[in-house]
Chains A and B, each alone.
Chain A
Amino acid sequence: MCSVCGCGPGEVKILDGVSEPHDHSHDHGGHHHAHGPDQARLIELEQDILAKNNAYADKNRAYLAARGVLALNLVSSPGSGKTTLLARSIEMLRDRRDVYVIEGDQQTENDAERIRAAGAPAIQINTGKGCHLDGHMVGHALEKLAPADGAVLFIENVGNLVCPAGFDLGEAHKVVILSVTEGEDKPLKYPDMFAAADLMLLNKIDLSPHLDFDDDAAIANARKVNPSIKAIKVSARSGEGMDIWLQWIEAARAMAQVGRPQAAE
């Protein structure tokens, strides 16, 4: 690096103060423009604000890939039935797969206790004032959980359809859960989340006969935002559609094994 003005290699370019960008050679032979210590200068950064989070997420992704662990980031608004759906999924999966859960909530360990009762090791992350999980928190939770090779890991994000959309955790897929007690225009109201998700679960479908909720309109709205999003109608309570959701998990888990030296069955 140039010790006079600090120009370094890479994307970081340094332009001196008010004048045009200078492209001086770095031998500094006979070069005498005034770089005073108090002189204002311009640094072109072009740095992604989320770069740090993305670096943690990449580390998590590499850790999971090496172990063939399928990680799913479950996102929804509060009250969509995410934890009940998760508990039910664990009960259906646990006999044939190792299942682990990372629970994110602002406060309490209630959800992790429900998940442990359903038969999966769970780590609770309390974000305090934070509105989302980030790659760094999940990295620490992974160290503690140490999921077995070929496992399925559910990450239940903080109930919030806004912030978790922007934070990669290293998961294979974001799965967004929308319940029929919400509005069918939610995908349009919170488009970032539906754009970031690969699968939408339309939950509490057993309540549909009692409501005006239009399932097809909800799915059509999600596809306006994200033409390739898949949708499954489920009810964690009645069990309807849960077999299709589990098939989707198995297919995604199979993809997580591809390229591993000793692929499990």
Chain B
Amino acid sequence: MHEMSLCQSIRSAIEEQAESQKFSRVDRVKLEVGPLSGVETDALRFGFDVVMRGSIIEGAKLEIDEPPAAAWCMPCAETVPITQRYDPCPKCGSHQLQVTSGEELRIKELEVN
């Protein structure tokens, strides 16, 4: 989707942290991006380099954690792995699933100077 504008949100969130946490250089940014977050990680990497140019984040290494997606299957009453939103339950075939993870879109940690 709008990976560029997400990169801008990441930049401003880190810049706010730089002020409150007193750092002037970011060496590494670790994100958590779930497979159901609607974000294409390749596009995010591309946008990251462009958007961070001229900021304290320029040149920082970007790491992206991609946690697996899971859902709660109501008929089975247990958590099952899924890869897409429309996947049926791998055990019973039901679509009565509630996504429990995979929608993460977070800045996890920063390595700063």
Contacts and interface: CB of A to CB of B under 8 A. Distances in A.
Contact of B107 (A41, A49, A53): A49
A42 B97 CA distance: 37
Interface in B53-112: 84-86, 88, 95-97, 99, 105-112
Nearest to B14: A45
B93 to A, nearest CB: 11
Interface of B is mostly: mixed
A69 B95 CA distance: 34
A192 B85 contact: yes
Interface string B1-36: 110011001101100010011110001000100001
A130 B2 CA distance: 8
A132 B109 contact: no
A227 B1 CA distance: 24
Interface in A9-63: 12, 14, 38-53
Contact-residue size bin, chain A (C-beta under 8 Å from the other chain): 35 or more
Contacts of B12: 52
Contact of B2 (A45, A131, A192, A225): A131
Contacts of A51: 13
B9 A6 contact: no
Nearest to B13: A47
A166 B17 contact: no
A254 interface: no
A5 B33 CA distance: 29
B9 A45 contact: no
A43 B9 contact: no
A52 B9 contact: yes
Given A43-B17, A43-B21, A227-B96, A50 B2 contact: no
A101 interface: no
B38 A221 contact: no
Contacts of A46: 106-108
B103 to A, nearest CB: 9
A252 interface: no
Interface of B: 1-2, 5-6, 9-10, 12-13, 17, 20-23, 27, 31, 36-38, 84-86, 88, 95-97, 99, 105-113
Given A39-B113, A130-B5, A166-B105, 5 more contacts: A41-B23, A43-B23, A49-B106, A50-B105, A163-B2
